[in-house]
Structure 1
Amino acid sequence: MSSITASAPTASAASERVPAPRGRRAHSRRRHGFGFWAVAFAFLSVMAFATVPAPLYVVYQARDGFPTFTTTVVFAAYGVGVVVSLFLAGHLSDVHGRRPLVLVSIALELVAAVLFLLWSDVAGLLVARLVTGLGVGLLTATATAHLGELRVRATGSSASAQGASVAAGAVNLGGLSLGALVGGALAEFVPQPLVVPYVVFVVALAVAFVVVLAAPETVDRPAEPVRYRPQRMAAPEGQAGTFWAAGTAAFAALAVQGLFTSVAPTFLGTTFHVTDRLAAGATTFGVFAASAVSQIVFARLSQQRQIRLGLVLLVAGLVVLAGAAVLLQVAGFIGGGVVAGAGVGLLFRASIARAGSLVGPERRGGVLAATFLIAYAGLTVPVVAVGAALLVVPTLPVLLGYVVFVVVLALVAGVRLAARAE
């Protein structure tokens, strides 16, 4: 240590030296604060783009005449892309940095948007949805971790990570709700419904790419090269029960969302004879918006209370939805979906937060990626099963069977997770 720093500074020396560090700290905090909002906007844009096709599937189906099962296969291509991406690369931000992977994710979504515009038959839809899923899988765990780290550095307080967790969950599900509403509204009110929604998101994604370029990195890359390996599905040591309970609860939560981003418009059309594109988009919007809002409204509840309230809302909403389907009450179907969506938001957020709290920051990206991998399987596997069942079984029994499956799974996993929650 130099003699200057070791000795007591003079008034002159203090006036020269103190403002600089404060200025640098203030500049760093502003920069990280901007980075937080830049990554949040990118996260919102990517997740919104993921659900833009939801109200458009009926348009594609009417144009090309393919069955509902084809719709579920197209949707499943998205889920496959998410799962593959999470397995192969969802954890790489722990090594290569958060910002590069966010940028790659946005670039993949831009490629998908161009594919939707230039290659709109069934084969093109499959490829475009697969690429969309690859980008989303790359982003979810990365952006969730990045937002928390940026928020802590912007505020200088580790307590702000809780708020960042709420923001990440709200942006994730809020983006999914926004995309469905925008897609449905544009499809209903503007010409070329299979073109304009994607053009809008090309612009939004391009802006997101530019602003993320200015976001700070929050991960120090290792000095020595790290050997690549796919995402491990092993639970953190000594935390297997909590990890798998969190993953299964998140699986059940996204199984509800999968229903409303794939075949819900078909249920509305065939069971309730509602074919309006805006209505289809608004229904999906309502479910996902309720998921986002519930996370914000009940953010101050403990994890345990969030899980319990989430289970009550999810189960009650699905029971109302099923009853409305039997009684042919479209308002009950949509209302039940919204109530269930509120429960999904609480259960999903608490599951992800609990999984992320099992390890330190140096391993958080990998554990979150593993948890999202399990969760997004819930967005894919049950929906494909529904599509296959619809080939041979009427709509109503398939819907009721789906509801029973999700309710039982959510209750089993949620009760176990609540017992382990802080």
Structure 2
Amino acid sequence: MSTTLTPSRLADSRVRFAHQPGFWVIATAFLITMAFSTVPTPLYALYQRRDGFPTYLITIIFAAYAVGVMVSLYLAGHVSDWLGRRRVALLAVLAEAVAAAIFLIWPDVPGLLLARFISGVGVGVLTATATAHLSELRKIARPEEDPSRSALISSMVNLGGLAFGPLVGGILAQYVASPLERPYEIFLVLLLLSAVGIALVPETVERLEERPAYRPQRVALPAAAKPLFFASAIGAFAAFSIFGLFTSLAPTFLAGVLHQPSRILAGVVTFAVFIAGAASQVIFVKMERRNQLRLGLAFMSVGLVGIAIGGLIPSLALFVIGGVIAGAGVGLVFRGAVATAASLADAGSRGEVLAALFLIAYAGLALPVLAIGLGIALLPAATALLIFSVLILILVNAAVPRMIKH
């Protein structure tokens, strides 16, 4: 259990940033880290072409990242509640820098697996920590402001980072001489600069002199609040499964089923899906939460149908349009899930509750993608995509209406 500090108790002569600029430093570090996590998306096909491994191995490499996220969320996503936000965020970003170095030093499949796993560990720790840290910094800097604004910025930073990573990776893959090195060199520098910035940001929780006994992640909620939490988590699971598709296998579908091998196109398509998720949150920010969820459900449903039909026809335009519409829906559902989970927790357990939400969400990032990877090994890619779309369509239509009722 942590104690959220008041501004007067947060004075620290070693900290150079006030809470408002500190908020933006954490937001920038969060953005860079999330972008780094998706930079490999358009590069997987280059690794595959270089080493000649089968498509399902791409899903395993991607799953190593998602497993890292889930392991860290389960074991350490909540520790910032009693270790402090700044310290844990700093360690998470440094883990990403280690992953970038491994990509450069050991670019073979075992190295890719290790780098992606470490990257997942860092992202898992940072996601819950940064979300809670941003909320607390903003509350201290602007106590009169609606807390939902902080949740909006945090969600936009998360999705915006995930969007820009593939775009940067795709552009570099298309135009630079060393596409499997340059992206990681750039992000290694950015991550190290982010670490320096985080070290200068104010702390927002007080580390207790007597630390509580360590335990893995659990959902620290009253029994009455758990049904709503798990409804939100299942909605996040379904939403992230769509993102998992576009951060792992979308370039493979573009090159194989749709006969579009361009690396920059692969990056742009994934960017468009994620940026649609961020944009929808801004466009509909004033809409009441239940209406946002209803609209998000409609967007995800229509988008999944477009993705499936686009793969079957096949049609590049329908596949991309379906992905963008689904991405817009994911943004609304994901924001609703985060805001709902945060509202269910008190200040001392906010990091823990958010870690539990992201743990389930990132399971959605990994498990359906592994299933579709296996499906591609056994079935035509278009058929595997259709099955994936139908299953996620059923899941999202089962989960989101429960969120709307509460």
Q: Which one is further off, 220-229 or 57-66?
A: 220-229
2:60 pairs with 1:64: no
- CA drift of 1:325 comes to 1.7
SS of corresponding position for 2:378: coil
Partner of residue 412, structure 1 = 398
| CA deviation profile, 1:283-310 (whole Å, cap 9, x unmatched) | 1000001011111111112221111110
Partner of residue 256, structure 1 = 242
| CA deviation profile, 1:236-268 (whole Å, cap 9, x unmatched) | 331121011000000000000000000111111
| CA deviation profile, 1:195-230 (whole Å, cap 9, x unmatched) | 000001011111111111111000112232211100
The one of 373, 387, 401 equivalent to 1:387 is 373
- CA drift of 1:352 comes to 1.1
- CA drift of 1:390 comes to 1.1
Partner of residue 8, structure 1 = none
The one of 344, 366, 373 equivalent to 1:358 is 344
Alignment of 1:149-160 (within 5 A): 149-157=136-144, 159-160=145-146
2:80 pairs with 1:93: yes
Q: Is the 8 A contact 2:17 2:202 kept in 1?
A: no
| C-alpha distance in structure 1 between counterparts of 2:169 and 2:184, whole Å | 9
The one of 194, 200, 203 equivalent to 2:189 is 203
Provide TM-score, normalisation by structure 1. Answer: 0.91
Partner of residue 310, structure 2 = 324
| C-alpha distance in structure 1 between counterparts of 2:43 and 2:185, whole Å | 14
Partner of residue 99, structure 2 = 112
| C-alpha distance in structure 2 between counterparts of 1:29 and 1:263, whole Å | 43
- CA drift of 1:359 comes to 1.6
2:389 pairs with 1:403: yes
Provide TM-score, normalisation by structure 2. Answer: 0.95
| C-alpha distance in structure 1 between counterparts of 2:113 and 2:245, whole Å | 18
| C-alpha distance in structure 2 between counterparts of 1:365 and 1:328, whole Å | 44
The one of 144, 157, 160 equivalent to 1:174 is 160
Letter in 1 for 2:53: F
The count of aligned residue pairs is 394
| CA deviation profile, 1:95-144 (whole Å, cap 9, x unmatched) | 01101111011000000000000101111100000000000000001100
SS of corresponding position for 1:390: helix
Q: Is the 8 A contact 2:219 2:352 kept in 1?
A: no
Partner of residue 4, structure 2 = none
| C-alpha distance in structure 2 between counterparts of 1:86 and 1:346, whole Å | 23
Q: Which one has the largest radius of gyration?
A: 1
Partner of residue 279, structure 2 = 293
| C-alpha distance in structure 1 between counterparts of 2:347 and 2:221, whole Å | 16
Q: Closer, same or farther in 2 for the Cα pair 1:259/1:94, shift >3 Å?
A: same
| C-alpha distance in structure 1 between counterparts of 2:125 and 2:60, whole Å | 21
Partner of residue 174, structure 2 = 188
| C-alpha distance in structure 2 between counterparts of 1:30 and 1:78, whole Å | 32
Letter in 1 for 2:245: L
Partner of residue 17, structure 1 = none
Q: Is the 8 A contact 2:59 2:249 kept in 1?
A: yes
Q: Closer, same or farther in 2 for the Cα pair 1:323/1:47, shift >3 Å?
A: same
Partner of residue 18, structure 1 = none
| CA deviation profile, 1:1-26 (whole Å, cap 9, x unmatched) | xxxxxxxxxxxxxxxxxxxx9xx9xx
Partner of residue 30, structure 2 = 43
Q: Is the 8 A contact 1:32 1:150 kept in 2?
A: yes
- CA drift of 1:234 comes to 6.2
% identical aligned pairs: 49
SS of corresponding position for 2:212: coil
Structure 2 unaligned segments of length 5 or more: list them. Answer: 1-7
SS of corresponding position for 1:225: coil
Q: Is the 8 A contact 1:151 1:160 kept in 2?
A: no
Letter in 2 for 1:396: A
2:293 pairs with 1:307: yes
| C-alpha distance in structure 1 between counterparts of 2:195 and 2:226, whole Å | 37
- CA drift of 1:272 comes to 0.9
| C-alpha distance in structure 1 between counterparts of 2:368 and 2:219, whole Å | 20
- CA drift of 1:393 comes to 0.8
Letter in 2 for 1:190: V
Q: Is the 8 A contact 1:29 1:155 kept in 2?
A: no
| C-alpha distance in structure 2 between counterparts of 1:337 and 1:156, whole Å | 38
Partner of residue 254, structure 2 = 268
| C-alpha distance in structure 2 between counterparts of 1:205 and 1:215, whole Å | 15
- CA drift of 1:233 comes to 4.2
2:127 pairs with 1:140: yes
What is the root-mean-square deviation in Å for CA atoms of aligned residues?
1.4
- CA drift of 1:184 comes to 0.4
| CA deviation profile, 1:325-353 (whole Å, cap 9, x unmatched) | 22211011111101100000000110111
Q: Is the 8 A contact 2:221 2:345 kept in 1?
A: no
Partner of residue 368, structure 1 = 354
| C-alpha distance in structure 2 between counterparts of 1:236 and 1:405, whole Å | 31
